[in-house]
Structure 1
Amino acid sequence: MKPKLILLSLILMTGCASTQLVGTWKNPDIVLFDAYKVLVVGMSQDDEVRIEFETQLTKKLEQTGVEAMRSIDLFDVEFTSSEKSEEELSEVEQQLLDKGFDAILFTKVVGTENRRTFRERMNKFNNLYTRFSTDYLGHQDMYYDPEYYETFNLYHIETALYCICVDKERELIWKGDFEVTEPSKVNKTIDAYIRLMTTAMQEEDVIF
């Protein structure tokens, strides 16, 4: 990862510690990639999350002068409710090419894991205990209090940019890997993710 991206990640993590950039990859044959019409695909079983994500990202693209469309406006319910073959997806890609699309921005959850951590106890952390009994009594609920720890899901999310190029395979241009802590407010988490992801792409001269 570039030093600037590491710094960027730390800055944005400070503002929203639940979303962080893990790493990026960019096609070494591509120096600068501009797109004029992008299909935004957010893969999720939760329709509300999918709509919110695709809507926010589409607006972000349009703010930069890029025409964008949500996949939810292109793929009907029947399309996403059943398994598709490679031939069917090739037909979709050709239809996109015929309609003037030149890129697909595809985001999906690639994994999740359960984490366990201490609850926030910074008020006690800085205390200087001069006696064993005081120290012990201040922390003894670690043994028996189930609320001493908190568990949460950590989602591994990937955003990939694919080029829809004439007479070429739909090649990968850029990919970003992110970690998102189980969100309490979906809208804010989506906003933080999009800001982090688009800024990372901008740093590497991809679309933004």
Structure 2
Amino acid sequence: MKLKLIGISLLLLMGCSSTRLVSTWKNPDIVLFDAYQVLVVGMVQDDSARMEFESRFADALKDQGVDAMRSIDLFDVEFTSSQRSEQELEEVEQQLLDKGFDAILFTKVVGTENRRTFREHINEVDKMLMRFSTDYLEHQEIYYDPEYYDTFNIYHAETSLYCICVGKEIELVWRGEVDVTEPTNVDKAIGSYVKLVTKSMGEEDVIF
């Protein structure tokens, strides 16, 4: 069923009767990754939806002993209301490093026309966005383009964990792909999503 929703929020997309972890990828060069201060980023247009999602994810991390901060408390309204340059994202990355952050947990909603296309996408490991700034720049229109979701008939969410390491480019540590279908129950679906992602990261020795 094709969903025609303008300005749809991440919360609505998470409010579903089926939330299923489809695939994960972990950087083969990283055996264990401990994070102590994580920035939680939910790329959503609606501020209240973004606040709710980031709050739930940050609370889940804190329950596991990880210090977490919501991006909505760090990025001002002007920053997410229009397009940003690579230089501006690099400045943000440096600010995070200066403030003691060692990881970014970045969630966004993406869409494809059919399941086959999506499977091809997650199997193209070589084309994965390995830096937070590149991933952000590639999808930043989610924040301000009201037509971003108009043509999607299948929805998928991605949560990516990026390392902020001294002397290194910010690189991808882990990524999880989640199927999201039939928006119905917001609270239950967000809880399922967070539980799926945190459980998978724990099983793969990421953060926890």
Report matched runs for 1:22-171 at 5 Å: 22-111=22-111, 154-171=154-171
How far the C-alpha of 1:81 sits from its partner, in A, is 0.2
Counterpart Cα distance in 1 of 2:58 and 2:38:
9
Per the normalisation by structure 2, the TM-score is 0.72
Whether the 8 Å contact between 1:155 and 1:182 is mirrored in structure 2 is no
Whether the 8 Å contact between 1:154 and 1:182 is mirrored in structure 2 is no
Whether the 8 Å contact between 1:106 and 1:161 is mirrored in structure 2 is yes
Whether the 8 Å contact between 2:17 and 2:184 is mirrored in structure 1 is no
Counterpart Cα distance in 1 of 2:24 and 2:66:
22
Aligned match of 1:119: none
Counterpart Cα distance in 1 of 2:63 and 2:167:
30
* Percent identity (aligned): 72
Whether the 8 Å contact between 1:37 and 1:67 is mirrored in structure 2 is yes
CA-based RMSD: 1.8
Is there any run of 5+ residues in structure 1 with no aligned partner, and where?
1-15, 116-151
How far the C-alpha of 1:113 sits from its partner, in A, is 5.1
How far the C-alpha of 1:47 sits from its partner, in A, is 2.0
Q: Partner amino acid for 2:188?
A: K
Q: Deviations over 1:151-176 (max 9, x none)?
A: x9541110000000001010100001
* Greater displacement, 183-192 / 94-103: 183-192
Whether the 8 Å contact between 1:52 and 1:187 is mirrored in structure 2 is no
Q: Partner amino acid for 1:194?
A: V
Q: Deviations over 1:111-132 (max 9, x none)?
A: 15599xxxxxxxxxxxxxxxxx
Q: Deviations over 1:57-102 (max 9, x none)?
A: 0001111111110000000100000110000000000000000000
Whether the 8 Å contact between 1:104 and 1:162 is mirrored in structure 2 is yes
More RCO (CA 8 Å, sep 6+): 2
Q: Partner amino acid for 1:157?
A: A
**Number of equivalences:** 157
Q: Partner amino acid for 2:31?
A: V
Alpha-carbon spacing, 1:182–1:50, altered in 2? closer, same or farther (3 Å): farther
Per the normalisation by structure 1, the TM-score is 0.72
Counterpart Cα distance in 1 of 2:198 and 2:57:
9
Counterpart Cα distance in 1 of 2:103 and 2:45:
23
Q: Could you list the runs of 4 or more consecutive aligned residues of structure 1 that deviate by over 6 angstroms after TM superposition?
A: none
Larger Rg: 1
Aligned match of 2:124: none
Report matched runs for 1:162-181 at 5 Å: 162-181=162-181
Give secondary structure in 2 for the equivalent of 1:56.
helix
